[in-house]
């Protein structure tokens, strides 16, 4: 997934980013991975996700997404401001939803994630879950030259 970072053009207001919390252990990473897997499974079995997926697949919006993605093959999803999946239940659920969308919706492709508070442990787990953590702080100002799904849900 690292290749998608290389294709980013760094605008003057954008800066390279790395986690400030570099403390990580294999045990901490495994614990967070288990927590995310439980969250993903719980959400997958929920009535909310069934209704959400049904709405995405069977709505007029789905037709438009398929039309947009015909030339692009799959739509890239960019998640800004995910928060800390270690310490925030809403961040955990948001990432779980994005991961399930990637697995269950055929027009969603690569998932790129960014939040300046992501720790090294979170970065490793997010990437192990199949997403790419951006190495550039775009300040939510990416130019959408190609179709992109910007995913910024709020669960409170």
129 occurs within a structural domain:
yes
More confidently predicted of 149 and 62: 149
More confidently predicted of 106 and 52: 52
Kindly report, residue by residue over 12-64, the tens digit of the pLDDT: 566 778 788 889 999 999 999 999 999 999 999 999 999 999 988 887 777 77
95 occurs within a structural domain:
yes
CB count within 10 Å of CB 129 equals 19
For residues 127-152, give the mean pLDDT: 89
d(CA 121, CA 73): 32
Number of H helices, E strands in the chain: 6, 6
59 occurs within a structural domain:
yes
* Cβ–Cβ under 8 Å, residues 91 and 152: no
Res 2: pLDDT: 42
Q: With bands split at pLDDT 50, 70 and 90, how would you rate the model's confidence at 139?
A: confident
If one counts the domains in the chain, the total is: 1
* Cβ–Cβ under 8 Å, residues 114 and 58: no
Domain that holds residue 112: 3-150
């Amino acid at each position: 997934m690292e290749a998608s970072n290389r294709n980013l053009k760094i605008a003057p207001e954008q800066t390279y980013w790395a986690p400030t919390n570099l403390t990580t252990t294999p045990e901490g990473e495994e614990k967070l991975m288990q927590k995310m897997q439980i969250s993903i499974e719980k959400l997958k079995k929920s009535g909310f996700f069934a209704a959400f997926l049904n709405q995405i697949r069977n709505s007029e919006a789905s037709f438009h997404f398929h039309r947009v993605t015909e030339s692009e093959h799959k739509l890239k999803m960019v998640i800004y401001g995910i928060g800390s999946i270690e310490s925030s239940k809403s961040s955990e659920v948001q990432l779980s939803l994005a991961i399930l969308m990637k697995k269950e919706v055929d027009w969603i492709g690569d998932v790129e994630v960014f939040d300046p508070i992501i720790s090294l442990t979170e970065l490793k787990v997010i990437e192990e879950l199949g997403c790419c953590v951006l190495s550039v702080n775009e300040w939510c100002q990416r130019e959408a030259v190609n179709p992109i799904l910007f995913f910024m849900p709020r669960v409170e």
